Structures are given as C-alpha cells and as structure tokens.
Amino acid sequence: MNRQIILFDFDGVIVDSFEGAYEVNRSFEPSLTREEMKRRFEGNINESWAEANGRPLTDEDEKYFFDRYVPALMKSPIFRGILECIKNLAENYILMVVSSSISSPIRKYLENRNAAQYFTEIMGNDIHRSKVEKIKMIFEKYGVGPEDCLSITDTLGDLREAEKAGVESIAVAWGFHDKETLSRGNPIALANKPEELIEKVSQFFGQ
C-alpha cells in the first residue's frame, strides 16, 4: 500500500470560496474588512475568531456560520485546473482533505463535481478544530509519520499548523493569502497554478 499522503486544504485551494465566506462573516460582523478576515487565517481560524470576538467559539456560533455559508459554498466555483491535478495525483498518492469547514458539505461539493472518489478521508471542523490534531489522527490511523505526508494550502495559518505536526507544505498562490504572507510560513515550494503541483509533489516524494 502506498503510504505517501497529500493533505489538501479545501477553501482557497480547491474551491474559490473567499467572497462567500466573507459575506457571511459580514452578516454578523458588519465592520469586518477583507484584510482583517485574511489576517485571521494567519493562525488557526477558530482561535483567531475567538480572539477577535473576546470569547471561545461555541457549537452555536459554528452552526450559525455554516447554516449560512454552506449555500454560498455550493455556488462557489472550483478553481480551474485543480480537478485535473487531483485526478493525476490520486493515481500515485493517498489524497485527504483537512479543512476548517465541516466534512459533510465538503463531501457534497466534491460529489457534485465528481471528485469525492479521489479522497480517502475528509476531515473538517466537526472532527477537530485543530489541524495539528487531525494530522496526528492520520498518523495514528494510517501508521505513517510526518515524512510520509505533504500539506497543500493557501494560508499562513495552515502552514504553521502543518509545521507543528512536523509536516512540510506546498503553498498555492491562488487562494486566501498572497505570496508574501505565505513566505512567512516557510513552505518548501510555491505553486502559481494547479498544474505546477504535480511536479512539485513528485519532487518532494522523490519520484
């Protein structure tokens, strides 16, 4: 069995969902700017939300957000070229989604685009609010270590969480954070378009 695992972020890597998420956040934080929302993704988004609002995120808060966000998500476009990239990578690697969205709508979104079958696991906020802990769960379940995994993400916060779990990352330039912000997370490579991921992943795993 191939033990090499690629951990895909969802929002900002697979789906172009920033504007939908921003508008939902503005419905209960009218003064929120795009720049401030992006800053919140420089760390764990759940912790950043709690800091901004002066209290921990509750299940009720999460439900309020996702009840409004999911309809916007389903209308959000998939990034051009990413589906072809996913299909290619699935031929040689185990693919998983590790996200701060919740698992069931992620699966539904991918099913609607004939992409769900390429992912062995979908681990959203309902599994754990820390990506570090979700990555550790993958280590334990699949009997792998950090050297067997590679994270693909568009945010500095995800780069930092992957690093805490000992996992290297490739950053993508088409999502929430710009190249300068992503560089602060020390990714091993930066992909400017989805088709570049195939070669960069291959180089990491030495194939």
Q: What percent of the chain has pLDDT over 70?
A: 99
pLDDT in tens, 152-203: 999 999 999 999 999 999 999 999 999 999 999 999 999 999 999 999 999 9
DSSP string over 138-191: HHHHHT--GGGEEEEES-HHHHHHHHHTT-EEEEETTSSS-HHHHHTT--SEEE
Dihedral over Cα of 136, 110, 179, 129: its sign = negative
Q: Would you kindly state where each structural domain of the chain is located, as residue ranges?
A: 5-16+77-205, 18-75
The pTM assigned to this predicted structure is 0.94
The fold of 5-16+77-205 is: Rossmann fold (3.40.50)
Band (pLDDT 50/70/90 cuts) for residue 207 is low
